Amino acid sequence: MTELSEIGEFGLIEKLAKDIKITNKSTIKGIGDDAAVLNLSNNLTVVTTDMLIEGVHFDLGYVPLRHLGYKSVVVNISDVYAMNAKPKQITVSIAVSNRFPYEAIEELYEGIKAACENYKVDIIGGDTSSSHKGIAISITAIGEVEKDKVVYRNTANAGDLICVSGDLGAAYVGLQLLEREKYIYQENPKIQPNLSGHEYILQKQLKPEARYDIINFFNSNNIVPTSMIDISDGLSSEIIHICSQFGLGCDIYEDKIPIAQQTIDMSLEFNIDPIVTALSGGEDYELLFTVSPEDVEKIKANNLISIIGNITKSNDMNLIAKDGTKIPMTAQGWNAMR
Ligand code: ADP
Ligand code: MG
């Protein structure tokens, strides 16, 4: 193992940056000068930042550094997609304590680079610092969208259909499973974690993907959602942002909310109603969006998308239960559940 103090900050940056290639034509200058240089077109530019702190956002007890690197990129570009934009560049800032050898940072960067390759994003710079304790990663993503295609979260209209990509709640029960197995292992190190059969929920927690497929679908089918947000804190807290305009509410149908079988099974194992997991679990990184009724046939043709309800002219946000009863929805974000 190579101590970070041995190679120093510049040595570290040099090693990390060594095989970083530039693929987007809007990236004029990447790593290596005082600032990166971009040639942004006539399109609109979107910028977003997320910070991940060890012990707050992740636990290296069960999160491999490579997955952490991958996920820290994905959570950022998910925000870019939620504007209906395409991510193009990221900057990566890290703070690490000397508890980590160079090889650990290299692992982290392997994940960061893998995500950048998958999503065709250039790493154009960052900052490197030491920390007293633990590791922190801050990533800024820059994306591009045509002027008439940008989608905000608070621009839905009454009568619009509410849609969601993929399925919900998996990452939350994946986390609960990892926490449980960690606890069991700490109590008795002879017991090996039993994770088989739970691959889907673990993957949604440890290596989520951002929904470029949905954005491409919009593009190739001439759909511009009337509003959109990515689901990081749980459906019930994100829907509030969608309905935040005066006089808008929603009806969401319980039986239309997509939940994977592994999510249902694990929720029941933890004595949680699966619908609560889907509404209040976090870190789905699925897209929640509304479309005008004229796009309904196009949306129905895509089996990656579920229509879960509609925007109403009222101030009420309702969950319509399977038996038809209306339950007011509250903002139980996922923090509230931890
Ligand atoms: P400055 O002192 O001007 O801030 P640095 O020595 O911090 O410059 O950085 C030199 C170059 O390396 C810059 O292009 C910067 O963006 C890049 N860089 C620094 N840290 C990282 C990192 N962790 N990942 C990617 N690029 C980095
Ligand atoms: Mg610097």
Residue with tokens 């926490």: 179
Distance of CA 304 to the CA centre of its chain: 17
User: What is the per-residue pLDDT across 226-246, written as a single tens digit (0 to 9) for each?
Assistant: 999 999 999 999 999 999 888
332 — pLDDT class (breaks 50, 70, 90)? low
Query: Please, which residues bridge with residue 195 across strands?
Result: none
Tell me which residue of 245, 250, 75 sits closest to 171, measured CA to CA.
Answer: 75
Give the chain's length.
338
Strands 44-53 and 122-130, how do they pair? unpaired
Residue 337 confidence (pLDDT): 38
Ligand 1 midpoint to CA 8 (Å): 13
* Mean pLDDT of the region 302-307: 98
Q: Is residue 210 lining ligand 1, measured as CB closer than 6 Å?
A: no
* pLDDT score, position 336: 36
pLDDT score of 312:
97
Instruction: Count the neighbouring beta carbons within 10 Å of the beta carbon of residue 2.
Output: 15
Q: Which residue among 4, 12, 31 is best mutated to probe the pocket of ligand 1, counting the most ligand atoms within 8 A of its Cβ?
A: 31
Centre of ligand 1 from the C-alpha of residue 125, in Å: 5
Task: Set out the domains of the chain in order of their start, with CATH numbers.
Answer: 4-145 (3.30.1330.10), 161-328 (3.90.650.10)
Q: Identify residues whose C-beta is under 5 A from ligand 2, the ion.
A: 127
Q: Model confidence over 129-186: pLDDT tens digits?
A: 999 999 999 999 999 999 999 999 999 999 999 999 999 999 999 999 999 999 998 9
Ligand nearest 13 Cα, by number?
A: 1
The per-residue pLDDT for 335 is: 41
Q: Is the CB of 163 within 6 Å of ligand 1?
A: no
Strand 161-165 to 286-291 pairing: antiparallel
Q: Which residues contact 179 (CB under 8 A, 6 or more apart)?
A: none
pLDDT of residue 280: 93
- Sheet of 227-231: strand order equals 227-231, 286-291, 161-165, 305-312, 249-253, 317-320, 326-328
Phi-psi region of 84 (alpha: psi -120 to 50; beta: other; left: phi over 0): left
**How far, in Å, CA of 207 to CA of 215, rounded?**
20
